[in-house]
Amino acid sequence: MKEDVQVRIAGIAGDGSFITGEVLASILKKIGYYVVTVKDFPSNIRGLPSNYTVRGSSKPVYGRNDYDDFLIAFDIPSIKTHLRDLKEGSVCIYDSRDGKELSDDLKKEGVFYVPLPLREIARKELGLELIKNMVAVGVLSEIFGVDEEITDRVILENFKRKGEKVVELNKKAVLRGRELVRENHGRFPEFKLKKYNDPGRILAMGNDFVSMGAIAGGCRFLAAYPITPSSEILEFLSKEMKKFGGAAIQAEDEISSINMAIGASIAGLRAMVASSGPGVALKTEGLSYAGMTETPIVIYYAMRVGPSTGLPTKTSQEDLLYIIFAGHGEFPRLILMPATPDELFYLTVEAFNFAEEFQIPVIILTDQFLAQNKFTIDKEKIDPKKVEIRRGKIVLNGNDVPRNNGFLLRYKIEEDGISPRIIPGIKEGVFGTTGYEHDEAGYGTEDEDNRVSMVKKRMSKIKHLIKRVPPPVLYEKKNAKIGIISAGSTFGPIMETIERLEKDGISVSFLRIVTLWPFPEDEVRKFVEDKEKIFIVEQNYKGQLRFLVENAIIDIHKNKIRGITKFSGRPFKPLEIEEKIREELK
Amino acid sequence: MSEILSEVKVRTPKDYEGYKKPTWCPGCGDFSILSSLKKVAAEIGLDPFKTVVVSGIGCSGKSYAFFYANGVHTLHGRVLPVATGIKLGNPELFVIALSGDGDALAIGGNHFIHTARRNVDIKLIIMNNQIYGLTKGQFSPTSNHGFVTVSSPYGSVEFPVDPVVLALASGASFVARAFSGEPNSLTEIIKEAFLHKGFSVIDVLSPCVTYNKVNTYDWYRENIEFLPNDHDKENLTEAFTYATSFKGKIPLGIFYKKERPTYEELILDSSNPCREDLYCGRERVYELIETFSK
Ligand SMILES: Cc1ncc(C[n+]2csc(CCOP(=O)(O)OP(=O)(O)O)c2C)c(N)n1
Ligand code: SF4
């Protein structure tokens, strides 16, 4: 019985690897497994290689495993590409159209090679070559021992909007795949999966969890310009927002989108933009305007590989330092880095609360891996009832606010740095807002004393903010002398690494940064102090998180720090982290 | 937020005096635009609490502080996106956008096209002095070919864009041109634009007395001509014809005026997001969770 299985489906974009993966993910979820998907698609629509990995496990998992148990290769070059992820005992199922015998360089010891006439069956027996992928689903379902009733239901759910005929044809294809296995029955008994009852977990993309968080958190405005890996937010919310009387719109560019969100926020809405590196680069002037005008906005930032267009569909954590410092001038900001589905949901809600309470820009920082892959989570972990909406010092009646000559003091200097937030349209009074340095009424002035007080007012929010932001999450092992620090999507492989090392008697404690900025210096310092070695795991070349950690600790602790970085655009496998740590401990 | 509506009281132009006294150079064309705005506001009884003046960066952009209403002074070129956000945020607000020729057509040129296309109900006044005032006299997108400035010492090699033609081509539903030196017609045109529902563009020729020594009041007087009274304002072809060739003169008046549904009406289905309960999304999230856990 297998309790952790990983399948990779590979071919040319257009081969249907994507839908195969999605269907498999649903099937695994239905037999009660926790699921993760890893999409690896080119920035191209057709003709280039693409692959989709699905992992199912009886325990919660948030990343891919080291090796694939199955490779479904729709073409021979895909075998070559993914050979290194096969190990002894793995099964490589490939389309025998290209010849049954593989050349030696495609063979790895201990791997079972199974040529199957997927295309031929699809074309000759089912009349549609494209449906070869559902034949492959059938093959795997039979090997896994999944009941027919379950595959039928998944097929129905996935294809019902295409009509009954399509559903029937897909069911037939799955059945035909099952027969292929039965004809050679008993070959892979070790891959039978355990059967659990489906507890109805949520299976959704990172971006979906963020969109749901935005809806629950009272977001009523999104302006975005399509960009991988954040476009799904625009797509999701342009469907949903109408239902709550809000607007989710596609702007002409990213400059426009952030300025639209600023406008909507000034009008009193909870407003958001969603983008990635190249788009955020265009938004930085707006970001600093929001900083100066103390306009609450939420920026969802899903990092991809740079510089420039880089690898648009691949993952990275290359922009940590960039987003901390982006925008000219000094102003407070909050940057949150979720790592799990529930955090994606709740931190999005909190992003809106913090933005309004502190009247600052708040950034939700994810990456392509978290944004576009699917994860399962137990339903009770996301409870919209628990959502709280805190609007801060919003003012609905001008008479509650002191004024100067009839102009309300939108930027009144207060001890906590937070002024009354006046919404236009309220009774009795008007106010000004400007990107120039301004007085308490919001009108430009170059007065030196005013400048000093206004800078102090804005910056004084930080000390109050620090007390309220989500602290790092500590996964503590008693007396551990080794520590790991990371943030965001590296969480999954790190947890698996720790578990493996624990089995060998090596205990490792783990500090996961949730609020990237203001950087949790105190917690980091404390964590580092009693450790002998600290590994900082991150997806970039320079070691940006390491830079922040080293900046927070005193010199004598710096020689403990080791960086584990990956910048290929692909997420970490646990083994990559594990090997580096073992090597260092030798 | 039911307090949004406040009663309109009888007002005079003086009631619309802003937080500050204008700081333009004496003789600047922008004074006349401001005083026409105040006149129109008084005539139609504009409610300052429900009005937002959005302006850009430039001499023109300073005007947000000179008019009694809510004032939002945006970044250079970003008047229209911010105005769009405000209008979608609360469609009951009356949104006036004030922009320079550089602000609206150089750095903000892209937004100009798309806001017109969308027909957001914003009244845009381009305070067009054919030069960059605030940065001290560089050429602008409306400067004439051959115009000598500090940044075009050999004469500008670029040809100007015509804001009226661009507005017509981009789908603005109200397009007009006026001249600061003709305050009566300027006031009338602003009033008509204010009463029009939809994206309204007024290109106002507004001399910069300090840096533009070519396009002066006298020069404009010699080069302008009013559109004939019988011009059919709903006829786009006719509007284009007048805008592109008119006796070798710069035509003034209303070129085009035709209502069609606004962007905010279409996007919001006539709801007002400002009035919605923020917790109303929660029930929907339960439903979404159900669809994702099937
Ligand atoms: C992003 C940016 N670039 C440049 C500037 C400098 N700048 C300020 S005003 C201006 C031009 C203003 O010209 P126009 O829009 O025609 O307005 P006017 O001053 O003539 O009324 C420029 C280039 C700026 N503020 N922001
Ligand atoms: S520089 Fe020109 S545009 Fe600016 S205030 Fe003076 S006259 Fe007006």
Closest chain A C-alpha to B123 CA, distance in angstroms: 16
Chain B residues with CB under 8 Å of A392 CB are none
Number of other CB atoms surrounding residue B213 within 10 Å: 13
Q: Which two tokens stand for residue B221?
A: 């007087």
Question: Is the backbone of residue B270 left (phi > 0), alpha (psi -120 to 50) or beta?
Answer: left
Which residues are CB-contacts of B120 (< 8 A; sequence separation ≥ 6)?
Answer: B80, B83, B84, B87, B88, B199, B262, B263, B264
pLDDT over 90 at B4, yes or no: no
Predicted local confidence at residue B2, as pLDDT: 32
Say yes or no for a CB contact (<8 Å) between B88 and A247.
yes
Query: Can you tell me which residue has the tokens 């590989």?
Result: A305
**CB of A546 closer than 8 Å to CB of A563:** yes
**CB of A512 closer than 8 Å to CB of A473:** yes
pLDDT over 90 at B281, yes or no: no
End-to-end CA distance of chain A: 35
- Which of the listed residues B209, B212, B215 should we mutate to test ligand 2's pocket, taking the one with most ligand atoms within 8 A of CB? B209
Handedness of CA A399, A404, A406, A412 (dihedral sign): negative
Asked if the peptide bond before residue A402 counts as cis, ω within 30 degrees of 0, the response is no
pLDDT digits (tens, 9 = 90+) for A17-56: 999 999 999 999 999 999 999 999 888 888 899 999 999 9
**Interval B259-264 mean pLDDT:** 98
**Interval A113-136 mean pLDDT:** 95
- The pTM assigned to this predicted structure is 0.97
Angle, helices A206-216 vs A231-240, to 10°: value is 40
What is the percent of chain A with per-residue pLDDT over 70, rounded to a whole number? 99
Dihedral of CA atoms B115, B119, B121, B123 in degrees, nearest 10, equals 60
Residue A569's alpha-carbon distances to A449, B43, B189, in angstroms, are 49, 63, 57
Tell me if chain A has a CB within 8 Å of the CB of B55: no
pLDDT digits (tens, 9 = 90+) for A300-340: 999 999 999 999 999 999 999 999 999 999 999 999 999 99
Strand B200-205 to A421-427 pairing: unpaired
Predicted local confidence at residue A190, as pLDDT: 84
Say yes or no for a CB contact (<8 Å) between A202 and B3.
no
Please, what is the average pLDDT of chain B?
Answer: 95
Predicted local confidence at residue A53, as pLDDT: 97
Taking the C-alpha atoms of residue A270 and residue A387, their distance in angstroms, rounded to an integer, is: 15
Closest chain A C-alpha to B17 CA, distance in angstroms: 11
CA A60, chain centre distance (Å): 16
Taking the C-alpha atoms of residue B272 and residue B265, their distance in angstroms, rounded to an integer, is: 10
**Interval A75-101 mean pLDDT:** 92
For residue A552, the SS3 value is helix
Q: Is B59 in the pocket of ligand 1 (CB under 6 A)?
A: yes
pLDDT digits (tens, 9 = 90+) for A172-187: 999 999 999 998 755 6
pLDDT digits (tens, 9 = 90+) for B90-148: 999 999 999 999 999 999 999 999 999 999 999 999 999 999 999 999 999 999 999 99
Tell me if chain A has a CB within 8 Å of the CB of B289: yes
Chain B residues with CB under 8 Å of A379 CB are 289, 293
